[in-house]
Amino acid sequence: MRTAFIETLFKLAKKDERVVLVVGDLGFGVVECFMREIPNQFVNAGVAEQNMTGLATGMALSGKIVFTYSIANFPVIRCLEQIRNDVCYHNANVKIVAVGCGMAYGALGISHHATEDLAIMRALPNMIVVAPADPIETTLATNALVEHEGPAYLRLGRAGEPIVHGSIPNFQLGKAITVRQGNDITLISTGGQLFETIKAADVLCTQGIQARVLSMHTLKPLDSEAVLAAASQTSAIFTIEEHSVIGGLGGAVAEVLAEANLTLHYFKRIGLNDTFSSMVGDQDFLRVQYGLDSSGILGTIEKILGLSIPDLRKRVAR
């Protein structure tokens, strides 16, 4: 995802000198094109994320379209006060980009795990929150955010994420992408979890369970219409995210359902259950440990619906 983001932003920056990339002294393997070819649109702020955010705000208020870039929690939690008071309060045209979110930097421990960021950024006034699922969505999201006026958060994976979409989807900020149609249950995924979600849906399909799969790439504003349609047309909704179940995708969907006074047969948030990861391992290993791989997702569905996979269709049929 990070390569797709940098390559897309670089192309846009060469066409528009207002586009500026500010980094926190990292990523030189992928940002070298900026440094070499358009140095006047590239700033290395050093390991000083608070200053990076303040600098970006000033540049934005002077007419620039500024992207700040660092890994995991560093461009978010480390400089949250500056994001709140400088970027959001002034409605500045700053896009905060975090790479390696979720548990992508698994072996480096919780200091490098971004598993509360969606909840934090959703709560900030004026902030758009975007978590694309694959390199294709990342490219489309980057284009959309350059056009969007105002604060935004772009949550990315690290590198090597598989391409999920077989063709270019219709991408709009605030509108979910229907990856697969289905009228039995709905699986709503955000970020890099879409790949595992589709694999789970494939298994369900072999057992006669038609799962609707939504890529909810924008958490704020959330696509309420897609959520409400799923609630009225299917019997169960499962949200899947590499993030705390508190305040992220699951929380956002639950808010929509509660305020609409809708009652589902089943609703379950699949994510980290209010915990830090005390284990050491790569992202794939940690996903398995926390039930965020396709097998874990299927296991949760089976447990919640109370039946084995071959019997699920009988239980969810309306």
pLDDT digits (tens, 9 = 90+) for 183-202: 999 999 999 999 999 999 99
Catalytic residue among 7, 17, 49, 241: 49
SS (H, E, C) 155-196: ECCCCCCCCCCCCCCCCECCECEEEECCCCEEEEECHHHHHH
Hey, is 307 helix, strand or coil?
coil
Pick the CATH number of 2-155 from 3.90.550.10, 3.40.140.10, 3.30.470.20, 3.40.50.970: 3.40.50.970
What pLDDT does residue 318 have?
Answer: 42
Mean pLDDT of 311-318: 54
Hey, is 51 helix, strand or coil?
helix
Residue 77: closest CA among 60, 59, 101: 101
What pLDDT does residue 308 have?
Answer: 62
Pick the CATH number of 177-316 from 3.40.50.2300, 3.40.710.10, 3.40.640.10, 3.40.50.920: 3.40.50.920
238: β partners: 187, 268
pLDDT tens for residues 85-124?
999 999 999 999 999 999 999 999 999 999 999 999 999 9
Mean pLDDT of 39-54: 96
- Tell me the pLDDT band of 307, cut-offs 50, 70 and 90: low
| Buried b / exposed e along 189-228 (16+ C-beta atoms within 10 A) | bbbbbbbbbbebbebbeeeebbbbbbbbbbbbebbbebbe
pLDDT tens for residues 137-171?
999 999 999 999 999 999 999 888 899 999 999 99
Residue 120: closest CA among 157, 168, 167, 72: 72
Task: Judge if 2-155 and 177-316 fold alike in CATH terms.
Answer: yes
Delimit the domains of the chain by residue range.
2-155, 177-316
Establish whether 49 is a catalytic residue: yes
